[in-house]
Amino acid sequence: MSYVIGIDLGTSAVKALLLDKSGTIIAEASREYPLIHEHSGWSEQLPTDWVDGTLVAIRELVQTAGVPADSIEGISFSGQMHGLVLLDESGHPVRNAILWNDTRTTLECREIEQLLGSVLLTITRNPALEGFTLPKILWVRKHEPEIFAQAKIFVLPKDYVRYRLTGELHMDYSDAAGTLLLDVANKAWSETVLQAVGLPISFCPPLVESHAQTGTLLPEVAASTGLTTATKVFAGGADNACGAIGSGILKDGLTMCSIGTSGVILSYEQGSGNDFQGKVHFFNHGKQDAFYAMGVTLAAGYSLSWFKNNFAKGESFDELLKGLEDVRPGANGLLFTPYLVGERTPHPDAVIRGSFIGIDGSHERIHFARAVMEGITFSLNESVHMFRQAGKTVDTIISIGGGAQNPVWLQMQADIFNADVVALENEQGPGLGAAMLAAYGCGWFESLEACADQFVKIASTYKPESEAVEAYAGLFQIYQEVYAQTKGLNESLKSYRN
């Protein structure tokens, strides 16, 4: 038997899956790592934490699986998007990575808009948003010139890990699309954008397809993980592109909901023709020459983790959420907006922060937990709503990510989205997508679609229930008002944040 490994370099943890040729998951391992929030709106991680976590997770995976090392043919990656890793001449990071949910770069976004005007949207298919990579590069250049002077090239999180495993530097199109430096439709670094911001093309790594082989494991990596130097390493993709592959979103009409640290509603696009005018992100897929559009909630799973860490410390999610199904839709009049680190879709706003509206003396912790989950799902519903307004049919949504582990949340998604919500046998779509890229890259299948037929396994479908759909339709309208009503208040509160 032959095997492949999929690594999902998430924001909360790295998760590794080992699968056989039938798409059965043989073993799983994961390692968490911390986020560093030095100031409100800042979010960093240590690139070495990602590498250490990945090596330990692979070692555990290989030991648990107990399969011969030389039967593990390939390995590939899914990675949290947009995070800036600056490398010096010897390939060492010159500072911490600045992550996708770091919103310190509002001024740099305005600068990019001034330099490029409407050309930016035409080339990169996306507006300048704080989370994207280019504004982070400009921020470091402006605020840390001595550190920036040491930087010779930039990569994204999973590219750095892959580099440390193989010694080779590459970036795939699906992740490059989130940098704001890629000509998305033409699949090339944009000389117009690079010139406008004064960066040389040598600052950008070579581009490859997500299923392309980019090397094999270095001897010291093989030794420390229990793999061999013959293990083929494939580029991999952005976590949302890989999530789409891992949930079979490989043709028009299919939609995915992912609740990880962030939350995403993603819709497949066969060509680059559809123009959403920057209202949703438009990126290259991990499937060659395909695309996807998506709306992003910055603090989706993060909002629930924040709630658990502060009000249920030491408890598991299952303990915190016990009795969730006994609270009716609307959490007894309590509404939450998940703007803990600002928001992206539909309100690109780095200053807005979250609210609980309607706190009542009868509310207990479980009402707050339900309100948090409903608020996250309402935020995602804004993206569903936008896609429907753009003429897309959204009647079935494949739900993945840590949030898909709770059946009450899956039913809540069906009721709020008013669509069938499909759960897979394993919620780790990005890791599965990464493993599928390795399986396809190894030549096990003639297409990603053929691989999906074998690997993507549906567990259950949640149907919308009419009474809850009606209740949520009314609550969603109230939810939509909270942003405008709290925007000014949050602007006034900004100077009190540290």
Ligand X SMILES: O=C(CO)[C@@H](O)[C@H](O)COP(=O)(O)O
Ligand Y SMILES: Nc1ncnc2c1ncn2[C@@H]1O[C@H](COP(=O)(O)OP(=O)(O)O)[C@@H](O)[C@H]1O
Please list every residue from 6 through 25 that binds ligand X, using CB under 6 A.
10-11
| Residue choice 262, 355, 377, 486 for contact with ligand X (CB under 6 A) | 262
239 is catalytic: yes
Contact between 292 and 244 under an 8 Å Cβ cutoff? The reply is: yes
Asked whether position 133 contacts ligand X by CB under 6 A, the answer is no
261 in contact with ligand X (CB under 6 A): yes
In the bound state with ligand X, the residue whose beta carbon lies nearer, of 215 and 263, is: 263
Q: Which residues inside 177-236 make contact with ligand X, applying CB under 6 A?
A: 178
Which C-beta is closer to ligand Y: that of 10 or that of 354? 10
In angstroms, give the least distance from the CB of 427 to ligand X: 12
Which residues pair with residue 397 across a beta bridge? Answer: 255, 421
> For ligand X, what does the binding mask look like between residues 293 and 332, x meaning CB under 6 A?
---x------------------------------------
Q: Which does 81 bind (CB under 5 to 8 A by kind): ligand X, ligand Y, none?
A: ligand X
Contact 207, 170 (CB under 8 A): yes
Q: How many whole angstroms separate alpha carbon 415 and alpha carbon 394? A: 13
Nearest residue (CB) to ligand Y, 32 versus 252: 32
Is 81 assigned to a binding site?
A: yes
317 binds, among ligand X, ligand Y, none (CB under 5 to 8 A by kind): ligand Y
Residue 82 labelled as part of a binding site: yes
Indicate the residue among 43 and 355 with the shorter CB distance to ligand X.
43
Instruction: State the Cα angle at 137 between 164 and 200, rounded to 5°.
Output: 85
451: helix, strand or coil: helix
**Pairing of β 171-172 and β 263-269:** unpaired
Residue 342's binding partner among ligand X, ligand Y, none (Cβ under 5 to 8 angstroms by kind) is none
| CA dist., res. 483 & res. 380, Å (int) | 14
CA distance 143 to 175: 25
* Helix pair angle (365-389, 466-493), 10° resolution: 100
Q: Which of 23, 47, 260, 429 binds ligand X (CB under 6 A)?
A: 260
Side chain identity at residue 402, one-letter code: G
Residue nearest to ligand Y (CB): 402
Question: Are the C-beta atoms of 53 and 94 separated by less than 8 Å?
Answer: no
> Among 131, 236, 338, 464, which residue interacts with ligand X (rule: CB under 6 A)?
131
346 preceded by a cis bond (ω within 30 of 0): yes
CB of 259 to ligand Y, least distance (A): 6
Q: Residue 395 phi/psi, 5° resolution?
A: -115, -15
The amino acid at residue 345 is: T
Determine which residue in the list 210, 214, 240, 406 makes contact with ligand X, applying CB under 6 A.
Answer: 240
Q: Residue 189's binding partner, choosing from ligand X, ligand Y, none, with beta-carbon cut-off 5 to 8 A by kind?
A: none
Interacting residue ranges for ligand Y, rule: CB under 6 A:
10-13, 260-261, 301-302, 304-305, 317-318, 401-403, 405-406, 409
242: part of which helix (H) or strand (E)? Answer: helix 239-246
Give the CA count within 13 Å in the CB-facing half-sphere of 169: 18
Paired with 399 in beta bridges are 257, 423
The answer to whether 448 and 436 have CB atoms below 8 angstroms apart is yes
Identify the CA nearest to 263 among candidates 455, 108, 397.
397
The site map against ligand X for 265-284 (x = CB under 6 A) is ----------------x---
Joined together, the tokens standing for residue 437 give: 């890229």
264 binds, among ligand X, ligand Y, none (CB under 5 to 8 A by kind): ligand X
Give φ, ψ of 335 to 5 degrees: -125, 140
> Interface residues for ligand X in 56-95 (CB under 6 A)?
80-82
- Which residue among 102, 239, 349, 415 is the active-site one? 239
User: Which residues belong to the active site?
Assistant: 239
Binding residues for substrate: 81-82
Binding residues: 81-82
Binding site for ligand X (CB under 6 A): 10-11, 80-82, 100, 131, 178, 239-240, 260-262, 264, 281, 296
